[in-house]
Amino acid sequence: MYGTVRKPIGAVGGDNLSKHNFDPQLVTTLVVCSANICRSPTAAFALSQFSRLSIQSAGIRPVTGANICQTAAHQLSEIPGGSEYAGEFSSQGIETVDLRSFELILTATGSIRGKLVQQNPGLRGRIFTLLESRHLAERALSSEECTILNEGGMSQVLVRRRGTLPTQAPTRRWLRGRSPSPLDLIDTHGTRSQRKHEKTIAQALAVGYRLGESLTSWCATPEA
């Protein structure tokens, strides 16, 4: 069953947050990349296959109204419902959604996460990279975490687990900057290597499915 996909819900508001009032049985999630034409819509499609996840996607530098990229469309065409999703898809900018309405905001890279946190410091505890959230959500909930889930929401469980990720080794410098973080789903759209871009799209799908399974199992925990 599909979750809610790509429905604009208003302008970005301020950072002052009201008391948590998210429904642990329906996880509202926003997936964000740069242009919103390959990584974020692909991961959003995978996540939307889980009925307890309500999914949207957006870009920080999109060409508004653009189609999904051909590489993503091709891979989605091999999945039931993928062709219809790709055909109806239209990119949107981050400014068209109210970030405060999302339980989880998942970014393709740490750089995008940093930009969103800088612009919305009050939402820091809800913003993760896709790969970070996948790793953090892999384990089943403890009884203590079930209480945290019910009282503070799913994002608070992920925040609590942040210290459990392996320490990242210092990045090596290359000729054109730093090597990507292992928690980044890097942008390969427009690069010379079609194979690399196909791999990125496949990874976005895999991460979305794996994370969707984990979050759905959390929702199904009896104490939740």
Q: Provide the strand spans (E) within the chain.
A: 27-33, 53-59, 104-107, 127-129, 173-174, 177-178
Check which CATH number belongs to the domain holding 155 and give it: 3.40.50.2300
98-127 tens-digit pLDDT: 999 999 999 999 999 999 999 999 999 999
pLDDT at 223: 58
Residue 17 in domain: no
**pTM confidence score:** 0.84
Residue 7 in domain: no
Residue 145 in domain: yes
Quick one: CA dihedral 21, 25, 26, 27, positive or negative?
positive
In this prediction, what percent of the chain has a pLDDT beyond 70? Answer: 79
Give the CA angle between residues 197, 198, 200 to the nearest 5°.
60
In this prediction, what percent of the chain has a pLDDT beyond 90? Answer: 66
Residue 16 in domain: no
12-68 tens-digit pLDDT: 333 333 345 566 668 999 999 999 999 999 999 999 999 999 999 999 998 889 999
Residue 60 in domain: yes
Q: Pairing relation of β-strands 173-174 and 177-178?
A: antiparallel
Number of domains forming the structure of the chain: 1
Residue 94 in domain: yes
Is residue 155 over pLDDT 50?
yes
Residue 208 in domain: yes
Give dist(CA 130, CA 31) in Å, integer: 8
Residue 8 in domain: no
Range of the structural domain that residue 47 is part of: 27-165+177-219
